[in-house]
Structure 1
Amino acid sequence: MIVDEAQARAFVAERCDADALDRLEDFAETLREENGRQNLVSAASLSTIWQRHIADSAQLLDHLPAGHNGPWMDLGTGAGFPGLVIAAMRPGLEVELVESRRLRIDWLERCKEALHLANCTVIGSRLELVPDHKVNVLSARAFAPLPKLVALARRFSTGDTVWLLPKGRSAEQEVAELPKRLRPMFHVEHSVSDPEAGIVVGKVAEGSGR
């Protein structure tokens, strides 16, 4: 379990190269500055930005099966978590950031350019308006309750798409609230950045109905 910023940074460093770590250092500093202009994350979390936000995002890579690559679609990326962190750590991985709020879209576009993330695409739209296409990974952090999220996003999913959904303390409860036919397709993994948080992981079988 990660308990401080030094451990969080070391956790991330073990999962990316030095260039990626430098990108994340720049991102963290830019986020601190921008947070004074718009409320991207809670001010209280800035002192633990590596633990609360960056390592919290990076740990999703540990739940990705070997050889399972992009495209990776992150829903409601907001300040950049987890999608922008994943894109910075894996420059060879195609990452799509879906965000509907204008100020957040502008922020993500600026970060993409500043960090030279050619692998990253910002989709400035409500999810309901994003054209149908299939992706290999779906992630979302604080986007919508799990039953609604599955209903909205499953059109982008195949039977092999991995869903990686940080859900905080509500993870177990949200899985329990899924329709009975979908419930066995998901399970909860413990978060390494918060002892009380969980990550919902799963795959939605094709032909499983709505």
Structure 2
Amino acid sequence: MIQTEEEARDFCAERCDSAAIDRLTRFVALLTEENTRQNLVSKASLDHVWQRHIADSIQLLDLAKAVKGPWLDLGSGPGLPGLVIALARPDMPMGLVESRRKRFDWLEYVKGEFSLTNCRVHGMKLENLESRETGVITARAFAPLGKLLKLSARFSTHSTLWLLPKGRSAAQELAEQPSKVREMFHVEQSATDADAAILVGKGRPAQQ
């Protein structure tokens, strides 16, 4: 379990090349600066930014090693986890969905700063995004599990991987779902927080 900023940086360095670490370090500076203008993340979390936000996002790469195909990050907000993953892996196609104008502008700005050709920002509600097949779907603090699946099932196939950081609510949210959803997902312990977990699933949920 990661407990310090140094451990968090080492965790990321084991999974990213030096160029990616440089990009992530610069991203942290940009995020910290932008947070003085809009509340992207809690101010207190910036004291542990590598643990709480960067390594927390990078750990999803461990769960998606065998998956090919584009990623879709729902409600990207400050770029967590989707933009962090795009910075770490600029070879990986990444779609970021964010309907709030100021946060969309922020994501576009960072994309431009790093010339991320692998990354596309969709400034709209998920309901308005054109359907497409997606290899990995991620979402952090986007919506309760039932609503999330209802909104995003049309982007999935039988082989789509779902990676949904859910904090302390993961097991409870899963327990409240129909049996077919419970069979689709399992709970993984977060590497960055003893009280947090990630819902990991595979497949296309039945339309609700």
Structure 2 length-normalised TM: 0.98
Alignment gaps of 5+ in structure 1: none
Q: Which residue of 2 aligns with 1:34?
A: 34
Shift of 1:177: 1.3
Q: RMSD in angstroms over aligned alpha carbons?
A: 1.0
Provide the rounded CA distance (Å) in 2 between the counterparts of 1:163 and 1:177: 18
Partner of 2:202: 203
Describe the superposition over 1:140-188 as per-residue Cα deviations: whole angstroms up to 9, x where unpaired. Answer: 0000001110111010000000000000000000111112222110000
Deviation of the 1:86 alpha carbon: 0.5
Structure 1 counterpart of 2:147: 148
Q: How does 1:31-110 map to 2 (within 5 A)?
A: 31-66=31-66, 68-110=67-109
Tell me the matched-pair count.
208
Quote the Cα distance in structure 1 between the aligned partners of 2:165 and 2:101.
24
Matches of 2:157 and 2:151, distance apart in 1: 14
Which 4+ runs in 1 deviate beyond 4 A?
none
Provide the rounded CA distance (Å) in 2 between the counterparts of 1:204 and 1:129. Answer: 22
Q: Given the alignment of the two structures, is residue 13 of structure 1 paired with residue 22 of structure 2, yes or no?
A: no
Tell me how far apart the structure 1 counterparts of residues 153 and 193 of structure 2 sit (CA, whole Å): 28
Which one-letter code corresponds to 2:73 in the other structure?
Answer: D
> Which amino acid in 1 is paired with 2:169?
S
C-alpha distance in structure 2 between counterparts of 1:187 and 1:119, whole Å? 29
**Is 1:23 the equivalent of 2:23?**
yes
Cα deviation for residue 205 of structure 1 reads 4.2
Counterparts of 1:65 and 1:34 in 2: how far apart (Å)? 32
Deviations 1:99-126 (A, max 9, x none): 0000000000000011221100000000
Query: For the residues of structure 1 that align with 2:181 and 2:169, how far apart are their CA atoms?
Result: 17
Consecutive unaligned residues in structure 2, runs of 5 or more: none
Contact residue 32 and residue 46 of structure 1 kept, 8 A: yes
Cα displacement (A) at 1:204: 2.8
Kindly indicate whether the alpha-carbon contact (under 8 Å) linking 1:191 and 1:198 is maintained by their aligned counterparts in 2: yes
- Aligned amino acid, residue 87 of structure 2: A
Give me the TM-score of the superposition, normalised by structure 1. Answer: 0.97
Q: Distance in 1 between matches of 2:207 and 2:108?
A: 36
Letter in 2 for 1:63: L
Report if the CA contact (8 A) 2:153-2:207 is conserved.
no
Given that 1:74 and 1:138 are in contact with CA atoms closer than 8 Å, whether structure 2 keeps it comes out as yes
- The Cα of 1:194 is off from its aligned counterpart by 0.3
Q: How many Å separate the matches in 1 of 2:127 and 2:185?
A: 23
Contact 2:167 2:196 in 1 (8 A): yes
**Structure 1 position 128 matched with structure 2 position 127:** yes
Q: Is the 8 A contact 2:75 2:142 kept in 1?
A: yes
User: What's the CA shift for 1:128?
Assistant: 0.4
Aligned twin of 2:117: 118
User: Within 1, Cα distance between the matches of 2:9 and 2:17?
Assistant: 12
